Amino acid sequence: MKKLALILMSLLVCLGLFAGCGTQGESTSNTAGDSSSSSSQENGSSEAVQKGDPDKKAILVVSFGTSYNDTREKTIDAIEQEIADAFPDYEVRRAFTSQTIIDKLSERDGLEIDNVTEAMERLVDDGFGTVICQPTHVMNGLEYDDMVAEVSAFAGNFETLKFGTPLLNSSEDYQLVAQALVKNVPTSEDDEAVVLMGHGTEHFANAAYAALDYTLKDQGNSQYIVGTVESYPGLEQVQKQVEALGAKKVILAPLMIVAGDHATNDMASDEEGSWKMEFKKAGYEVDIVLKGLGEYPEIREIYVSHVQQAIDGE
């Protein structure tokens, strides 16, 4: 009996020790977790974002970019300059969204241009507290959405961060752009058609091209036709409209801010498959207007007005 009692007591002691070990391990784990959580909270509070001076203001003009220096000077440079002239209290800075173009300009010309993230980091480092981001995009497409996402990641670094809108945003924009196109790419003969070649996108904002085409015709400009090189309506749909007009001559002009690669090669070149050669093959006389939208004063004025609307909070 004594032996049995001793065995039972030994078992009870061992069970107590095991239970104690288990409890100790759980307690240690919880303590460590609390310590880690407390440390994280302290770090979070000590790393509060220091915002810039709200009186130090900048306008970041964001463009897709171009490697064609001559058209960049006439378009992107001109837009930036007019914005700078209109808002002397703001420093105007530049960013391109195309890393391919940025790299090409750097390697070929030694020209250093920030991408969007680099430009925003520079604005933070330089202590700006008020930033207006104005894109030169034609519409609210993929490039615009990506730009907004990149810029918005820095919102906590500024007292004020606002976005201007692309060229085609409001009903008034469509009216003004249509009028600018008719003024700067005129047609004087009944048997002429003006074909405006846009880029096109998979984004639902591609509907902007059809809306602009409708606006032109609603204003009484039935000879103006909008198409895209990479989406709908494409060259096939444009050719149907030209044929329906009974036109004998086609005036080709880019519906892009710069007259870059698409305008030079896909629209105006003598290469097989270009819009110029396709219309010539179909028997039309073809004229080329190799000017980007940024060359038109009325278009630049729209961008200036969009900056003002952003500043005013409209």
pLDDT in tens, the chain (314 residues): 444 444 444 444 333 433 443 333 333 333 333 333 333 333 333 456 789 999 999 999 999 999 999 999 999 999 999 999 999 999 999 999 999 999 999 999 999 999 999 999 999 999 999 999 999 999 999 999 999 999 999 999 999 999 999 999 999 999 999 999 999 999 988 899 999 999 999 999 999 999 999 999 999 999 999 999 999 999 999 999 999 999 999 999 999 999 999 999 999 999 999 999 999 999 999 999 999 999 999 999 999 999 999 999 97
What are the φ and ψ backbone dihedral angles of 251, each rounded to 5 degrees? Answer: -105, 120
Residue whose C-alpha is closest to residue 97's, from 48, 177, 151: 151
Contact 212, 226 (CB under 8 A): yes
At residue 314, the pLDDT reads 74
Residue whose C-alpha is closest to residue 151's, from 179, 124, 186, 189: 124
Residue 109 carries which side chain, given as an amino acid letter? D
Residue whose C-alpha is closest to residue 94's, from 80, 110, 73: 80
What residues act catalytically? Answer: 199
Burial of residue 91 (CB within 10 Å: 0-12, 13-18, 19+) is middle
In angstroms, what is the C-alpha Rg of the chain?
31
Indicate the SS3 state at residue 165: coil
Residue 139 gets which letter from DSSP?
S
